[in-house]
Chains A and B, each alone.
Chain A
């Protein structure tokens, strides 16, 4: 398996008359990729397509070179923690994972060992003998995660995996994603919690109304949004003087001085020119700059710029 990307080539999916996703072209590299978009934007459709649970109306999807319509091969390299909470009736947590592995064709001993490892990984060993039906929302999320990782897949697809998890479990789960991403695997996560997406993602795919609005590393995506002036926060000893000097250049849009009179929040249409100008000002006036940092190159800001109110609730 030499192919290392997940690719969508002109993929559309319609549910009757209703659009799922339209004309999506993507190439997802290894690492943690977050799918971000409002409800109904096509995140789950994208995930169901890449795991072979649904087929595209048009276009082609390959996962590490494997076409999505070959579940016999695809499901060996993909683990999917779906949004559906239900589990076959009467199974305990351990059986839920065990029988999933048995259907992969592993022997009893292999299944026992892999099940134990997966349960341990998500800290579900103590509750493994209880029926899944009696689990809390967070425990269900974790047992689904155990099922998804049990066969050690190269691609892990996770639909809202942090929903219902307590803070400790959240931290553990995020650490697991990071570890998997660092190992060169694909971890595809959809999440509504933008600051968590910010923390964990190597790249993001922004979706709105079935279209991919933007994709790539979040800073790169932000810099592509030319129509929204870049926000930059400068901490310095004389923000008033700096603001006055900066406004002599016409790429400056807005400047706000913070209450402590030590910070200046700027909006500029040309960040590169701003940085050059700032260097010049520092050299000329002896301004003492404590820090300079972009203030809106996070997922939340990019989301607001690209999708904003039209996207509805996140």
Chain B
């Protein structure tokens, strides 16, 4: 039989998945995840009907996807999706007055945080990594054999791997941020708005401040750079991307710190449903 702590985390994980996966309350999160897939599907179908001379190049499509990934996935879908999933893990229970159900079990609060976080990560990975992969694979399908060649013999598969890694790290990192917001703040939307502004200001921040963010490390891992159009290009502060060996462990370290802080906060949380 597995150790007690593992059984308890497993129980929380399964209960949370049962409760949250495909719940009606999360409809907008599913829309966020499926939105870009629909756009790329439409693009594919539209391109199929175009004549050959109207086609753009595969290289152009890869930049289009890079922009879609950076601006739509990282800054909107994954950010807001994780906000919806993770900030509700504890705050939602408080609003629904059900947190005492968990707090009355002989489980260390740290394990409860771990179980809920893992459930959130599992949902986010399925939705957003799945959506990223689906969008990538459908965007340029109209190129036919050239696309297959690009995918299997060119940089396609490696790019896909990078995007999947970045999307997964985004879920993991933002998940930890929003889990903590849900534990510490009565209204997690306020810190979420602050984080949103901070993350979006990142290109315009000085080098040192850039590094105090999640988007900086995620962007460093993106395989294709997106050119910044004028007039924004004037304001952008150029800085060297973080290498893979710093970006990945760095993000995981930040995540671990946030989770430890969340666990401490959970340990001090009392049942007070605002009555």
Q: Which residues of A contact B (CB under 8 A)?
A: 15, 48, 51-55, 71-76, 78, 80, 82, 84-91, 99-100, 102-105, 107
Contact = CB atoms under 8 A, between A and B. Distances in A.
Interface string B89-104: 0000100111011111
A84 B100 contact: yes
15 contacts: A53-B100, A53-B103, A54-B271, A71-B109, A72-B107, A80-B104, A86-B97, A89-B23, A90-B19, A102-B7, A102-B11, A102-B15, A103-B107, A105-B4, A107-B1
Among B25, B109, B270, B273, max chain A CB count under 10 A is at B270
B106 A82 contact: no
Contact of A53 (B1, B96, B270): B270
Contacts of B273: 84
A104 B104 CA distance: 9
B14 to A, nearest CB: 8
A72 B98 contact: no
Interface string B258-275: 000000000000111100
Nearest to A48: B271
Interface residues of B, number: 30
Contact of A99 (B15, B96, B106, B108): B15
B172 interface: no
Given A105-B8, A107-B1, A88 B101 contact: yes
Given A105-B8, A107-B1, A74 B97 contact: no
Nearest to B115: A103
B177 interface: no
A100 B11 CA distance: 9
Nearest to B112: A103
B107 A71 contact: yes
A92 to B, nearest CB: 11
Nearest to B11: A102
Contacts of B14: 102
Among B14, B102, B271, max chain A CB count under 10 A is at B271
Contacts of B25: 89
A88 B7 CA distance: 20
A74 B270 contact: no
B118 to A, nearest CB: 14
Nearest to B6: A105
B18 interface: yes
B169 interface: no
A103 B102 contact: yes
A80 B101 CA distance: 10
B105 interface: yes
Nearest to B5: A105
Contacts of A78: 104
A76 B19 CA distance: 25
